[in-house]
Structure 1
């Protein structure tokens, strides 16, 4: 084998290594050192179709976006033995304004490109850097940057390729219509990476941090290497002096006993702080504090998830009464959901895809099998599809431990109105009462120490529900149709959990009333 052949083989081997490890390509070919969080993001773009990054200020979100775009640009094309391009690659960089593309995104690309030319002598032979793009000798292999124009969806029509990537900065400033146009191009080996400061709780970017479609990351400026070490490790990233100034001006100092998780209170260098919304957004990379009409703050769910993970790690095994809340699917609905809950612990959500075909007898059989355990109850939503399942369980002799949960009935027991944990508030109907029970159960101030398995679908559902006081002082939950419009689906997991709080009939031994008894 000739020396030239050896070089070619070594080159092919090295490219294969880079294709398998984009972080290695970033280090060896682009000459950059990403921090640990940035490497996780880059790896996510390598393997996941959708990656969402909410970030604090100067945390390197645009830099890692540029690195990911360069990796995709140069590692995804394929050629045949004759040198013909058989798998083309197109990368689009976009932002709400032309200035952001020209002054933020393309300079990052330029620095990476020029560094790669110095490291790999032949890099410039296969491509050319221009003001807004990187072009090659192949018309169908390029990277380009341009402003996202919500009125010009045709701009996205040329981005069909075997390998397609959309890298979007300041994504919270881009309209949902534009994202819908981009979504139409996510075919084949496609990627979408969106990075943004989480300055609003609505819109496509905000929704990407919920749900289960996206790999989700949050870059907290306080975790930046320069801040943690209190010295410059990565030039240009946020530093300790900037953080110290924002702690002084964007936070309120508090005592440890005043700390509240729902306020995102935190400790830094021995002092406790309560952040303002601007600190949440610009430093913590978190959304503004949830509005007062949201039923469940995200922080409460996160705490319950953390307790659940700790309980599993410590070998926790639940005991006593179990209530399975069941939300039954029917025609046109995809999923039946069973929520398995003990007093302060949800073991799991079982989700059954019905493919739009209601199979009530299968659901009844499954729940009947669960009731073979003596200390198990099932609480079934009997407004609609669940009525047939409940009736079948009654026919099978399970009338004492099968609970008919009707959301529309009065929120009362023994002719007395059901109230919240403070014994102050009454409710429009049973649905409002049960949803509020979930709120009271998750509220850290109430001391139930709720444990929930991490589930991005549940998180999205729980944090979308809104409530209000009626003129008569009763609490009302917004209509299900309004929730579905925002979610794009029914909040089935949340409904199933809410069902578990339905008061057990007075005839049952050891009756539990109100949330203070919490099944």
Structure 2
């Protein structure tokens, strides 16, 4: 005689075994064979509260979302899962139907009851469930409160900000989670911001159709022939990139992400170059980067410390780098000398002379004249140098040549590099967006980006001093 099915004991086993491992749950309970990106993104959801994925078409995001819904329902006590999408067709005919398919063939189908608008734990219909709510009005997303909640937002680029703000306002618990997926069709809104200015708050991923075994190479070739390889249609539908048409960011997000994800360098050389952007007691951040060649070897960021403390940190970081790397024989320190940065420059010069350190100390005024006639000032020219280096990385990759610049794995730095806009003045020169204007747009001051640019730029100052190059 077969052993009776015990729902409680089964749930206890599932929760204990798969609480933080949706990949194993999908493989064992759903017989789902996830692609590499699906595995990585599933673990993102288990580890962090906010996950955002922009992708090309046909990469398997609906199956990915379905597996997460079933995992969360089976591996959290008394959960609520809210699934939404901009249209009823996308929500019910695509996502909700996909969940039904995976549930029907699963080993947990005896636990859950699927209906056209709700999936619930048998015997716990009022508290343990997933529901489908079209993203048409904010009140559809409100009124949900539970220790364990998961919001799945499909085709998130098409969901209005007022809807997304209602969802974000609901996520108040430590175990509340949000997953946004979709083609990156718009360069504004919460979904766009989650991959740009707000990306430090999210675990963000990009999935290209070219990298998926589920997509048709023939269809990709057809789209490229019809619309052009460099068209926004290809960027959005195939490459999972936001369109260029609406964006006027100076440095492309894809170039910054490439330098973080695909470039791996060793610190080759004997010269340590340090860049420091100085703040004091306001909301801005003091940032320090030190690099050897194209590799960052030291960095520090802090708030609300005076200029003497910052001077001490610069010297301490250099000492630590030299202790770890005895081959360093030359040190160059570049300071944003405008405003309070001048105090750091002066003190560094005093200590450099007193201790006979032999460091090269370079005061930099971003507003001074550029050596390149295309730029309106030195600060814009330095950013232009970094833009060129990041784009060179991508060109080198195509040619099979090593990259020249590796970005640290720092979402705040990437966001700051890729959200600063530019304009061309009546004199035909390029100027970067002012920090004051960035703050008016709700962005932070790009302190980390400015320090990074100081460390890596290759330009000349008014005095004719030539910054060091990446080639040692």
- Indicate the residue corresponding to 2:300 in structure 1: 351
Partner SS state of residue 362, structure 2 = strand
1:184 shift after superposition: 1.8
- Contact 1:300 1:443 survives alignment (8 Å): yes
Partner SS state of residue 17, structure 1 = helix
In structure 2, what is the Cα distance between the partners aligned to 1:439 and 1:36? 30
1:146 shift after superposition: 0.8
In structure 2, what is the Cα distance between the partners aligned to 1:466 and 1:285? 22
- Indicate the residue corresponding to 2:222 in structure 1: 245
* Aligned partner (choices 171, 187, 192) of residue 178 of structure 2: 192
Structure 1 residues 294 and 515: CA distance shift in structure 2, 3 A: farther
* Aligned partner (choices 65, 80, 84) of residue 90 of structure 1: 80
- Contact 1:437 1:515 survives alignment (8 Å): no
For residues 257-296 of structure 1, the aligned pairs below 5 Å read 274-289=229-244, 293-296=248-251
1:518 shift after superposition: 8.2
In structure 2, what is the Cα distance between the partners aligned to 1:153 and 1:69? 22
- Contact 1:148 1:174 survives alignment (8 Å): yes
In structure 2, what is the Cα distance between the partners aligned to 1:21 and 1:427? 51
- Contact 2:27 2:33 survives alignment (8 Å): yes
For residues 22-421 of structure 1, the aligned pairs below 5 Å read 22-77=22-77, 88-116=78-106, 119-120=107-108, 122-123=110-111, 127-136=112-121, 137-138=123-124, 139-149=126-136, 152-186=137-171, 187-210=173-196, 211-226=199-214, 238-251=215-228, 274-289=229-244, 293-305=248-260, 308-309=263-264, 311=265, 316-333=266-283, 335-342=285-292, 344-348=293-297, 350-354=299-303, 357-369=304-316, 375-398=330-353, 401-408=360-367, 410-411=368-369, 418-419=371-372
Structure 1: give runs of 5+ residues left out of the alignment.
Answer: 78-87, 227-237, 252-273, 413-417, 420-424
In structure 1, what is the Cα distance between the partners aligned to 2:45 and 2:385? 40
1:470 shift after superposition: 1.2
CA deviations on 1:172-201 (whole Å, 9 max, x unpaired) are: 011223222211222221111111101223
Structure 1 residues 400 and 43: CA distance shift in structure 2, 3 A: closer
Instruction: Report the TM-score when normalising by structure 1.
Output: 0.76
- Indicate the residue corresponding to 2:325 in structure 1: none
Structure 1 residues 132 and 493: CA distance shift in structure 2, 3 A: same
Instruction: Report the TM-score when normalising by structure 2.
Output: 0.83
| Residue 384 (structure 2) pairs with residue 436 (structure 1) | yes
- Contact 2:20 2:47 survives alignment (8 Å): no
- Indicate the residue corresponding to 1:83 in structure 2: none
In structure 1, what is the Cα distance between the partners aligned to 2:204 and 2:462? 43
CA deviations on 1:423-473 (whole Å, 9 max, x unpaired) are: xx2433332232223234434279993343343222221221222221122
In structure 1, what is the Cα distance between the partners aligned to 2:97 and 2:470? 60
Partner SS state of residue 17, structure 2 = helix
1:171 shift after superposition: 0.3
- Indicate the residue corresponding to 1:497 in structure 2: 452
1:93 shift after superposition: 0.5
RMSD (Å), alpha carbons? 3.3
Structure possessing the higher radius of gyration over alpha carbons = 1
CA deviations on 1:286-305 (whole Å, 9 max, x unpaired) are: 22247784322234334544
| Residue 406 (structure 2) pairs with residue 460 (structure 1) | no
Partner SS state of residue 96, structure 1 = coil
1:486 shift after superposition: 4.4
- Indicate the residue corresponding to 1:17 in structure 2: 17
Greater alpha carbon shift after TM alignment, 482-491 vs 192-201:
482-491
In structure 1, what is the Cα distance between the partners aligned to 2:284 and 2:376? 29
Structure 1 residues 331 and 120: CA distance shift in structure 2, 3 A: closer
In structure 2, what is the Cα distance between the partners aligned to 1:240 and 1:426? 41
- Contact 2:81 2:129 survives alignment (8 Å): yes
- Indicate the residue corresponding to 2:466 in structure 1: 513
